Amino acid sequence: MSDVPKPDLTPDDGDPPGGPWKSWGSIYVTLAVWGVVCIVFLIWMTAALNVGGNIGSGS
């Protein structure tokens, strides 16, 4: 049986992106929040811009 190979991390692998992101964790959280913001925006778009649901499309 083969063991799970461990990625051979070295200190430079832990370098954060820089700027406002002090760690990899902070940029991951930022991206996750961005993903949620996109979903919320699209839910708003669906609710606010579609008037067809109110009139019975094709009737």
Partner 1 sequence: MTGIDWGVFGLYLAGVLGFAMWQSRKNEGVEGFFLGNRSMPWWAIGLSVMATQASAITFIGTTGQGYYDGMRFVQTYLPLPFAMIILSVVFVPFFYRAKLFTAYEYLETRFDPKTRSLTSFLFLLGRAMGTGVIMYAPAIVLSTILGWDEVITISIMAVVTIGYTVVGGITAVIWTDVVQMLMMFLGITLAIVFMIAGLPDGVGVADAAYISGVQEMWRAIDFGWDPQSRYTIWSGLIGGTFLFLSYFGADQSQVQRYLTANSMRDSRLSLLFNGFMKVPMQIAILGIGVLMFAFYHFEEPPVVFNDAEVRVVMESDRAADFEAISLTFSETHAERRATVMEIIDERDTGAVPLELEQTLAAQDEALADLRDEAKAIVADVRGSDSNDTNYVFPTYLTTYFPIGLVGLMIATVFAAAMSSIDSELTALSSATVMDFYRRWFKRDGTEAHYLKVSRLATLGWGLLAFAFALRAGQGGSLIELVNQVGSLVYGSILGGFLLAFLVKRAHGTPAFIGILSGFATVLAVFYSTDIGWLWWNPIGVFVVMTVGTALSYVMPPPERAGA
**Looking at the DSSP assignment, which residues form a beta bridge with residue 18?**
21
Compute the distance between CA of residue 55 and CA of residue 8 in angstroms, rounded to an integer: 61
> Tokens for 22?
């002090």
Are 14 and 24 within 8 A, CB to CB?
yes
Residues that bind partner 1 (CB under 8 A): 1-5, 7-9, 12-13, 15, 17, 24, 27-28, 31-32, 34-35, 38-39, 41-43, 45-46, 49-53, 55-59
> CB of residue 57 vs partner 1: minimum separation in angstroms?
5
Nearer to partner 1, 13 or 20 (CB): 13
> CB of residue 22 vs partner 1: minimum separation in angstroms?
14
